[in-house]
Protein backbone atom coordinates (compact mmCIF):
# COMPACT_ATOMS: atom_id res chain seq x y z
CA UNK A 1 0.00 0.00 0.00
CA UNK A 2 2.86 2.35 0.83
CA UNK A 3 4.40 1.70 -2.58
CA UNK A 4 1.13 2.63 -4.27
CA UNK A 5 0.97 5.89 -2.32
CA UNK A 6 4.56 6.72 -3.27
CA UNK A 7 3.87 5.94 -6.92
CA UNK A 8 0.75 8.14 -6.88
CA UNK A 9 2.73 11.01 -5.34
CA UNK A 10 5.43 10.59 -7.96
CA UNK A 11 2.90 10.56 -10.81
CA UNK A 12 1.16 13.60 -9.38
CA UNK A 13 4.44 15.50 -9.08
CA UNK A 14 5.34 14.61 -12.68
CA UNK A 15 1.92 15.70 -13.89
CA UNK A 16 2.15 19.02 -12.06
CA UNK A 17 5.64 19.63 -13.45
CA UNK A 18 4.38 18.95 -16.98
CA UNK A 19 1.47 21.36 -16.45
CA UNK A 20 3.81 24.06 -15.15
CA UNK A 21 6.16 23.58 -18.11
CA UNK A 22 3.24 23.82 -20.54
CA UNK A 23 2.10 27.06 -18.89
CA UNK A 24 5.60 28.49 -19.08
CA UNK A 25 5.93 27.47 -22.74
CA UNK A 26 2.59 29.08 -23.62
CA UNK A 27 3.28 32.30 -21.72
CA UNK A 28 4.92 35.11 -23.67
CA UNK A 29 8.33 36.27 -22.50
CA UNK A 30 8.15 38.77 -19.68
CA UNK A 31 10.59 41.15 -21.41
CA UNK A 32 8.21 41.42 -24.37
CA UNK A 33 5.34 42.16 -22.01
CA UNK A 34 7.08 45.19 -20.55
CA UNK A 35 8.03 46.73 -23.89
CA UNK A 36 5.22 46.05 -26.34
CA UNK A 37 1.59 46.94 -25.50
CA UNK A 38 0.42 44.92 -28.50
CA UNK A 39 2.03 41.80 -27.06
CA UNK A 40 0.33 42.45 -23.74
CA UNK A 41 -3.06 42.75 -25.43
CA UNK A 42 -2.42 39.65 -27.54
CA UNK A 43 -1.40 37.61 -24.49
CA UNK A 44 -4.49 38.79 -22.61
CA UNK A 45 -6.75 37.80 -25.51
CA UNK A 46 -5.14 34.35 -25.63
CA UNK A 47 -5.73 33.84 -21.90
CA UNK A 48 -9.34 34.99 -22.21
CA UNK A 49 -9.91 32.66 -25.15
CA UNK A 50 -8.47 29.69 -23.21
CA UNK A 51 -10.53 30.56 -20.12
CA UNK A 52 -13.72 30.75 -22.19
CA UNK A 53 -13.43 27.05 -23.01
CA UNK A 54 -16.61 25.29 -21.81
CA UNK A 55 -14.58 22.68 -19.94
CA UNK A 56 -13.68 25.34 -17.36
CA UNK A 57 -17.30 26.14 -16.49
CA UNK A 58 -17.97 25.42 -12.82
CA UNK A 59 -21.16 23.38 -13.41
CA UNK A 60 -19.10 20.91 -15.44
CA UNK A 61 -16.77 20.08 -12.53
CA UNK A 62 -16.70 16.29 -12.16
CA UNK A 63 -17.06 16.15 -8.36
CA UNK A 64 -19.95 18.60 -8.18
CA UNK A 65 -23.16 17.19 -6.71
CA UNK A 66 -26.27 17.06 -8.84
CA UNK A 67 -28.99 19.55 -7.93
CA UNK A 68 -31.25 16.68 -6.81
CA UNK A 69 -28.56 15.27 -4.52
CA UNK A 70 -27.80 18.75 -3.15
CA UNK A 71 -31.47 19.34 -2.26
CA UNK A 72 -32.04 15.83 -0.87
CA UNK A 73 -33.53 16.06 2.61
CA UNK A 74 -34.96 19.55 2.09
CA UNK A 75 -38.70 19.50 2.70
CA UNK A 76 -39.79 23.02 1.78
CA UNK A 77 -38.72 25.13 -1.21
CA UNK A 78 -36.79 22.25 -2.78
CA UNK A 79 -37.05 23.80 -6.26
CA UNK A 80 -35.55 27.08 -5.01
CA UNK A 81 -32.71 25.20 -3.31
CA UNK A 82 -31.92 23.36 -6.54
CA UNK A 83 -31.98 26.55 -8.63
CA UNK A 84 -29.81 28.45 -6.14
CA UNK A 85 -27.20 25.75 -5.73
CA UNK A 86 -24.42 27.66 -7.51
CA UNK A 87 -25.55 31.15 -6.52
CA UNK A 88 -24.83 33.23 -3.45
CA UNK A 89 -27.20 32.42 -0.63
CA UNK A 90 -27.29 33.97 2.82
CA UNK A 91 -28.75 30.80 4.30
CA UNK A 92 -27.00 27.64 5.39
CA UNK A 93 -26.52 25.07 2.65
CA UNK A 94 -28.12 21.64 3.18
CA UNK A 95 -25.09 19.70 1.86
CA UNK A 96 -21.65 20.41 0.50
CA UNK A 97 -21.46 21.35 -3.17
CA UNK A 98 -19.01 18.52 -3.83
CA UNK A 99 -19.50 14.79 -3.45
CA UNK A 100 -17.66 14.18 -0.19
CA UNK A 101 -17.70 11.56 2.53
CA UNK A 102 -19.84 12.21 5.62
CA UNK A 103 -17.06 13.72 7.74
CA UNK A 104 -15.83 16.06 5.00
CA UNK A 105 -19.43 17.07 4.27
CA UNK A 106 -19.93 17.97 7.94
CA UNK A 107 -16.75 20.07 7.91
CA UNK A 108 -17.81 21.82 4.69
CA UNK A 109 -21.13 22.77 6.29
CA UNK A 110 -19.33 24.13 9.36
CA UNK A 111 -16.94 26.15 7.20
CA UNK A 112 -19.85 27.60 5.23
CA UNK A 113 -21.63 28.57 8.45
CA UNK A 114 -18.46 30.20 9.81
CA UNK A 115 -17.95 32.13 6.56
CA UNK A 116 -21.50 33.46 6.67
CA UNK A 117 -20.98 34.57 10.27
CA UNK A 118 -17.55 36.09 9.69
CA UNK A 119 -18.68 38.05 6.63
CA UNK A 120 -21.75 39.35 8.45
CA UNK A 121 -24.32 37.53 6.33
CA UNK A 122 -25.49 35.57 9.38
CA UNK A 123 -25.57 37.06 12.84
CA UNK A 124 -23.45 35.11 15.30
CA UNK A 125 -22.19 35.79 18.81
CA UNK A 126 -18.45 36.28 18.19
CA UNK A 127 -17.81 36.59 14.45
CA UNK A 128 -14.11 37.42 14.83
CA UNK A 129 -13.47 34.01 16.41
CA UNK A 130 -14.98 32.25 13.39
CA UNK A 131 -11.89 32.95 11.29
CA UNK A 132 -9.73 30.66 13.43
- DSSP-H helix ranges across 27-119: 30-35, 37-51, 67-70, 78-83, 102-118
Distance between CA atoms of 46 and 27, rounded to whole angstroms?
Answer: 10
Is the pTM higher than 0.85? The answer reads: no
Q: What angle do CA 69, 74, 75 make, to 5 degrees?
A: 135
List of residues 6+ apart from 49 with CB closer than 8 A:
none
For the stretch 1-57, pLDDT in tens is 678 778 878 888 888 888 888 777 765 554 444 568 888 999 999 999 988 888 888
For the stretch 58-107, pLDDT in tens is 888 888 999 999 999 888 999 999 998 999 988 899 999 999 999 999 99
Distance between CA atoms of 67 and 47, rounded to whole angstroms?
Answer: 31
Distance between CA atoms of 122 and 118, rounded to whole angstroms?
Answer: 8
Amino acid sequence: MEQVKQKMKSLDADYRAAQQKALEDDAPHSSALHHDPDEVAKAREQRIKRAANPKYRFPKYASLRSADDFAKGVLLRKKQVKEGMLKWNGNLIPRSLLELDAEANRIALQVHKCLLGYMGDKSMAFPATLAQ
